[in-house]
Amino acid sequence: MDRWLLATQIPRLRDSTRPLVVDLGYGSSAVTTLELVERLGPEVNGLEVVGLEIDPSRVAAVATDRDPPRVDFRVGGFELAGLQPVLVRAFNVLRQYDLDSAAQAWDTMRAGLAPGGLIVEGTCDEWGRRSAWVALDTDGPLTLTLSTRVSDISTPSDLAERLPKALIHHNVPGQPVHDFLTAFDAAWAAAAGLSTFGPRQRWVAAVEGLAAQGWPMVGSSRRWRHGEVTVRWSSVAPT
């Protein structure tokens, strides 16, 4: 996700009068928050990153990593500790919630965004090699992104287990996200001949096949070579 943020969200941060980023639910160590600072900081003057956790003991445990305003840690949850960030990263946070609670969390975070702000909410496996996320602004969800280490999958639908909470229970026949993954698997199978040149070439060809079928891709096709694909939320939203 951080690579995607670098490729797509730097202008949003640079255009802000206060480029504030929240890493929501950073976990038992400061690693993800500090990595986010290291990756975005060189590209954005005046970047501020705040890691939020609802457990005060976790905030106390990373006190030595504080370097405000560049990086700080606070107690907070979906209300974003009263901050107004331009960007919120919430990864592996909502999977344990039910659908209604997850939807309410979306609404709470969206209400706390700065004007023009964005939330990136999703899940990944333990190694970060299979992931999926939704980008949302104050009006609602915009896109779904799938991202993987392509050599680690047998079919694109292997990523179904990492779909965000808003979609994972809708991956059933008759629902758009299921149609998308089914079409992706078929395009992957059709591109099997390119396996000789490596899994990335096969992935790119499969995404090209999806685009040719009319699936609404978003962003630069250069991202496809990184094992990513982004589609408009309207094409996969539950019905």
| Nearest to 157, CA basis, from 134, 186, 133 | 186
Q: What is the pTM of this model?
A: 0.95
Please tell me the predicted confidence (pLDDT) of residue 160: 97
pLDDT digits (tens, 9 = 90+) for 105-117: 999 999 999 999 9
Please tell me the predicted confidence (pLDDT) of residue 95: 87
25: phi then psi, degrees, rounded to nearest 5: 70, 55
pLDDT digits (tens, 9 = 90+) for 183-207: 999 999 999 999 889 999 999 999 9
The DSSP-derived string for 187-222 is HHHHTGGGGGG-HHHHHHHHHHHHHHHT--B-S-GG
Enter the tokens of residue 52. 């939020």
Please tell me the predicted confidence (pLDDT) of residue 126: 83
Helices 176-190 and 199-213 meet at what angle, rounded to 10? Answer: 130
Please tell me the predicted confidence (pLDDT) of residue 209: 97
Pairing of strands 140-148, 130-137: antiparallel
Chain position carrying tokens 């006190």: 63
- pLDDT < 70 stretches in the chain: none
